[in-house]
């Protein structure tokens, strides 16, 4: 029997399943240490807490404005925070703004499409040498969202591996998964990517993923919804124009680390939506070209599955040089063809 | 006065009342106008609490961690990565010998290893912040208290709730008679955890061995005993308790579930319990009075009023929270400022973890020569009472708490 430990954090449930002797004190102690890492990152990165980094940065920026130049509005950050912020900066640039933790869409139903933050992540100042960071005074608090989950899982896995744990599966809210090694006697952990639009029990799987020392991130617009233009849409919007993601049902990315797979799946969801919007459904080659171009968002040695609705049907496409990690792909239409080798 | 004026006035009064004792604590420590930031050494920097201390010290422009010390190599390396540019030491004596510019030392070693580090640092002329509980034996407590008395530097015991703005606010409510006569105190510390630290060395799991006397009464209870005695302004005279190992039969011998009843001179009793088997309702202290109840939970506090308690004007605008059939008025520390901004609700909780405020108080005392928020005598009494709880649990009988426990400082 494996050891299962769990924690409520980041607005969801984290579960760690660790192979080995479940009652052996070192394994449990390591598991609790890993949970403590997640809890601590939850406290530091949450935008809903007064004692988190996003609120502290907003206060520092406001104080700097009020003090009229006495302060530059930057704060000292921890090493882990700087690493995460730099990852976000690279991902923001690489995605052309499709991934943007500085973006904040209005939760106000009266102004559903308003984009409150005049700033983008490019406006966040990060001074690596001094480990300092600052945001513009007018910006909404940074929203690390899912990338915080992926990053927390990365640090948790690192602590487990350092302690000698060889096999485990960790997830945060089931949409962020990081695999350490493989189950005893198996080649990899097998994880199903479910169709969020299917309410069957169990829900239909869009694909199965084989994970070994790798991470899976699944981004989707389902979950919380809001009114926009007289209809219900998902909570995910393109940070660049506020347009809601409607056609892409799932963007799933497999990469080496949780944080990098999270930023890639978020950006891919948004970019794929724009690609589908721009291409005619009755021109499969053009649509395929546009979707394959999204592979540039992926980190090295990564793979992605994009499932989307077009012409009243569900389609899926595989991207990246390691697309073979996806199997049993539900692909009832013409786009279910693994793409050629693509360079990230 | 117009309705709008009255509303604004009452909001500001609410803020003023709530912030009476707090304004200074919420002001950030100013950066030094001249010279370098205070050089600080952290001993025991690689443990979990050491990591938290390094993280919070980062926030002070007026301080710089110049040296870190840990006996374990891997932990020391991690501490150096965290405190960029700090010198690394495995031996605290060597750190004190070589780092002559250190102004202050933060001690966060295992509790039963505090004494030598603290005494050496004080003798070397350093200001010392010592994590609480202050020590794990009466002899060590006496040694530390004596060294602190003789030192010309600041010594602060790390009972951080004394620096916590929400706890200070709630205390001002209690002291000013807001809940009238306190008739009962309840406190609990519940977590679901093995409390184990990864690693093969038994010394790492010092909290799980009875011989170290560092179990739940000392490591959890001392903090809550300190809050209760600070709030009530008096000390218990007797204690009885019970403990058992009910959940973690993994080779440890310290109980994982304990409870104690402490008698105060006026007949009030404090019931305290702690467990590592269940996390329900976490850590809190409850002060039950004839006109209301105050509940404190780390960075949150609530006032529950009895139906016949007088209503004050500011309560109309206070933030409230429902707990089953009770409704609590949320205690907000920096209410004056927030009320002026119309953001009273945003003030729930604190802008920093409690540890930050304790370190801030310490750095202020060092920089300004002010008395410590929590003295060696305070730390002595809290730990000594906790040790008496531990002893009462072990013996299974009621024990008196007398001058030996309270005046040895």
Helix axes A25-45, A53-66, angle to 10 degrees: 30
Cβ partners under 8 Å of residue B47, min gap 6: B70, B75, B108, B109, B197
**pLDDT value of residue A241:** 87
Closest CA to B386 of B162, B237, B225, B258: B225
Half-sphere exposure of B271 (CA within 13 A, CB side): 5
pLDDT, tens only, A8-29: 999 999 999 998 765 566 899 9
DSSP assignment letter at B102: -
**pLDDT value of residue B34:** 55
Closest CA to A131 of A97, A166, A82, A89: A82
Q: How far is B250 from chain A (nearest CA, A)?
A: 7
Helix axes B376-395, B222-232, angle to 10 degrees: 120
Q: How far apart are CA A320 and CA B58, in angstroms?
A: 41
pLDDT, tens only, B120-160: 999 999 999 999 999 999 999 999 999 999 999 999 999 99
Q: How far apart are CA B270 and CA B253, in angstroms?
A: 26
Half-sphere exposure of B17 (CA within 13 A, CB side): 18
**Contact B128/B122 with Cβ under 8 angstroms?**
yes
Cβ partners under 8 Å of residue B174, min gap 6: B182, B231, B287, B289, B294
Q: How far is A214 from chain B (nearest CA, A)?
A: 24
Q: How far is A100 from chain B (nearest CA, A)?
A: 25
Q: How far apart are CA A247 and CA A269, in angstroms?
A: 10
Q: How far is B194 from chain A (nearest CA, A)?
A: 7
**pLDDT value of residue A283:** 76
Q: How far apart are CA A181 and CA A169, in angstroms?
A: 8
**Contact B327/B320 with Cβ under 8 angstroms?**
yes
Q: What is the pTM of this model?
A: 0.90
CB proximity A79 to B under 8 Å: yes
**Contact A59/B231 with Cβ under 8 angstroms?**
no
- The counts of H helices and E strands in chain A are 6, 16
CB contact under 8 A, B349 and A49: yes
**pLDDT value of residue B342:** 74
Phi, psi angle pair for B271, to nearest 5° = -100, 130
Higher pLDDT, B180 or A284: B180
Q: CB-CB: which of B61, B84, B352 is closest to A131?
A: B84
Cβ partners under 8 Å of residue B322, min gap 6: B328
Q: What residue of A is the nearest CA neighbor of B352? A: A51
Q: Which residues of A touch B198 (CB under 8 A)?
A: 26, 29-30, 33, 163
Q: How far apart are CA A263 and CA A150, in angstroms?
A: 9
Q: How confident is the model at residue B31 (pLDDT cuts 50, 70, 90)?
A: very low
CB proximity A32 to B under 8 Å: yes
pLDDT, tens only, B236-251: 999 999 999 999 999 9
**Contact B359/B53 with Cβ under 8 angstroms?**
yes
**Contact A170/A133 with Cβ under 8 angstroms?**
no
Q: How confident is the model at residue B20 (pLDDT cuts 50, 70, 90)?
A: very low
Q: How far apart are CA A4 and CA A28, in angstroms?
A: 9
Cβ partners under 8 Å of residue A50, min gap 6: B346, B347, B348, B349, B350, B351
CB contact under 8 A, B353 and A49: no
pLDDT of B354 strictly over 50: yes
**pLDDT value of residue A117:** 46
Which one of B27, B75, B198, B251 would you mutate to disrupt binding with A, by most A Cβ within 10 Å of its Cβ?
B198
pLDDT, tens only, B263-272: 999 999 999 9
**Contact B372/B362 with Cβ under 8 angstroms?**
yes
Q: Within 10 Å of residue B358's Cβ, how many Cβ atoms? A: 26
**Contacts with B, A 122-141, CB within 8 Å:** 131
For B288, the enclosing helix (H) or strand (E) is: strand B283-289
> Environment class of residue A63 by beta-carbon count within 10 Å: exposed (0-12), middle (13-18) or buried (19+)?
middle
Q: Which residue has the tokens 């809940």?
A: B179
Q: How far apart are CA B75 and CA B86, in angstroms?
A: 14
Mark A190-225 as b/e (b = at least 16 C-beta within 10 Å). Answer: bbebbbbeeeeeeeebbbebbbeebbbbbbbbeeee
* SS3 assignment, position A230: coil
**pLDDT value of residue B52:** 96
pLDDT in 10s for each residue of chain A, 344 residues: 789 999 999 999 999 999 876 556 689 999 999 999 999 999 999 998 989 999 999 999 988 888 776 677 899 999 999 999 999 999 999 999 999 999 875 544 444 444 444 689 999 999 998 999 999 887 788 999 999 999 999 999 999 999 999 999 999 999 999 999 999 999 999 999 998 888 888 888 999 999 999 999 999 987 666 776 677 777 788 998 888 898 999 999 999 999 999 999 999 999 999 998 887 666 778 888 888 899 999 999 999 999 988 877 888 889 988 888 999 988 654 444 444 433 33
Closest CA to B292 of B182, B169, B168, B186: B182
What number is the ipTM of this complex? 0.87
CB proximity B354 to A under 8 Å: no
Instruction: For A97-155, give the DSSP string.
Output: TSS-TT--B---TTSTT-B-----GGG-EEETTTTEEE--TTSPPP--HHHHHHHHHHH
Q: What residue of B is the nearest CA neighbor of A48? A: B346
Which one of A29, A33, A72 would you mutate to disrupt binding with B, by most B Cβ within 10 Å of its Cβ?
A29
For B69, the enclosing helix (H) or strand (E) is: strand B63-69
Starting at the earlier edge strand, list the strands of the sheet with A215-219.
Answer: A3-9, A12-18, A168-172, A176-180, A215-219, A248-255, A303-310, A313-319
Q: CB-CB: which of B55, B194, B353 is closest to A32?
A: B194
Q: CB-CB: which of B197, B251, B299 is closest to A29?
A: B197
Q: How far is A134 from chain B (nearest CA, A)?
A: 13
**pLDDT value of residue B236:** 98
For B9, the enclosing helix (H) or strand (E) is: helix B3-18
Q: Which residue has the tokens 């912040």?
A: B129
DSSP H stretches of helix in B271-409: 335-341, 354-368, 376-395, 403-406
Q: How far is B347 from chain A (nearest CA, A)?
A: 8
pLDDT of B24 strictly over 80: no
Indicate if the alpha-carbon torsion angle B361, B363, B368, B370 is positive or negative.
Answer: positive
pLDDT of B399 strictly over 90: yes
């Amino acid at each position: 029997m494996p050891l299962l430990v769990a924690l409520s954090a980041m607005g969801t449930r984290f579960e760690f399943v660790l192979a080995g002797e479940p009652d052996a004190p070192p394994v449990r102690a390591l598991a609790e240490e890993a949970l403590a890492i997640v809890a601590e990152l939850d406290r530091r990165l949450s935008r809903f807490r007064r004692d988190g980094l996003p609120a502290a940065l907003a206060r520092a920026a406001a104080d700097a404005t009020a003090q009229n130049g006495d302060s530059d509005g930057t704060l000292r950050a921890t090493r882990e925070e700087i690493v995460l912020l730099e990852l976000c900066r690279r991902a923001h640039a690489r995605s052309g703004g499709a991934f943007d933790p500085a973006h904040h869409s209005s939760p106000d139903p009266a102004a559903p499409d308003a984009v409150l933050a005049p700033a983008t992540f490019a406006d966040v100042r990060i001074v690596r040498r001094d480990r300092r960071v600052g945001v513009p005074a007018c910006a909404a608090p940074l929203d690390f969202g899912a990338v915080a989950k992926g990053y927390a899982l990365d640090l948790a896995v690192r602590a487990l591996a350092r302690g000698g744990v060889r096999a485990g599966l960790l997830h945060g809210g089931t949409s962020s998964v990081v695999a350490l090694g493989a189950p005893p006697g198996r080649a990899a952990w097998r994880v199903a990517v479910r169709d969020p639009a299917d309410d069957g029990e169990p829900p239909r799987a869009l694909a199965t993923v084989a994970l070994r020392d790798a991470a899976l991130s699944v981004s989707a617009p389902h979950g919380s919804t809001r009114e926009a233009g007289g209809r219900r849409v998902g909570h995910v919007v393109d940070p660049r124009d506020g347009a809601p993601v409607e056609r892409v049902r799932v963007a799933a990315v497999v990469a080496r680390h949780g944080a990098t797979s999270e930023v890639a799946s978020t950006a891919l969801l948004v970019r794929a939506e724009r690609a589908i919007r721009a291409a005619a459904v009755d021109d499969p080659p053009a649509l395929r070209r546009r979707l394959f171009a999204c592979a540039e968002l992926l980190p090295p040695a990564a793979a992605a599955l994009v499932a989307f609705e077009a012409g009243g049907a569900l389609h899926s496409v595989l991207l990246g040089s390691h697309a073979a990690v996806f199997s049993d792909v539900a692909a009832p239409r013409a786009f279910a063809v693994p793409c050629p080798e693509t360079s990230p | 006065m117009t309705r709008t004026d009255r509303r604004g006035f009452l909001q500001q009064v609410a803020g003023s009342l709530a912030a009476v004792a707090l304004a200074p604590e919420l002001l950030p420590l100013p950066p030094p106008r001249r010279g370098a930031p205070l050089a600080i050494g952290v001993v025991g920097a690689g443990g979990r609490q050491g990591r938290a201390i390094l993280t919070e010290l980062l926030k002070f422009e007026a301080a710089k961690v110049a040296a870190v010390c840990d006996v374990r190599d891997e932990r020391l390396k991690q501490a150096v990565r965290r405190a960029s540019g700090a010198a690394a030491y495995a031996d605290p004596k060597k750190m004190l010998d070589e780092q002559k510019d250190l102004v202050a030392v933060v001690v966060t070693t295992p509790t039963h290893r505090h004494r030598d580090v603290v005494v050496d640092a004080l003798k070397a002329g350093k200001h010392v912040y010592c994590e609480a509980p202050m020590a794990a034996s009466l002899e060590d407590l006496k040694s530390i208290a004596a060294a602190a008395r003789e030192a010309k530097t600041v010594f602060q015991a790390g009972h951080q709730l004394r620096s916590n703005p929400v706890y200070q606010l709630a205390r001002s409510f209690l002291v000013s008679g807001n809940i009238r006569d306190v008739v009962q105190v309840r406190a609990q510390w519940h977590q679901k955890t093995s409390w184990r630290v990864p690693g093969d060395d038994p010394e790492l799991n010092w909290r799980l061995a009875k011989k170290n006397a560092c179990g739940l009464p000392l490591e959890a209870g001392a903090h809550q005993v300190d809050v209760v005695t600070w709030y009530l302004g008096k000390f218990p005279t007797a204690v009885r308790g019970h403990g058992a190992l009910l959940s973690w039969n993994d080779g440890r011998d310290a109980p994982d579930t304990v409870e104690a009843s402490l008698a105060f001179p006026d007949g009030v009793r404090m019931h305290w319990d702690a467990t590592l088997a269940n996390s329900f309702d976490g850590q809190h202290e409850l002060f039950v009075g004839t006109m209301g109840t105050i509940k404190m939970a780390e960075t949150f506090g609530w006032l529950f009023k009895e139906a016949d308690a007088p209503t004050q004007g500011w309560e109309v605008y206070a933030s409230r929270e429902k707990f089953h059939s009770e409704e609590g008025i949320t205690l907000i520390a920096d209410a004056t400022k927030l009320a002026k901004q119309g953001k009273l609700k945003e003030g729930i909780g604190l802008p920093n973890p409690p540890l930050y405020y304790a370190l801030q108080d310490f750095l202020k005392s060092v920089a300004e020569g002010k008395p410590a928020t929590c003295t060696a005598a305070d730390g002595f009494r809290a730990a000594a009472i906790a040790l008496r709880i531990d002893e009462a649990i072990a013996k299974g009988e009621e024990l008196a708490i007398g001058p030996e426990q309270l005046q040895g400082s």
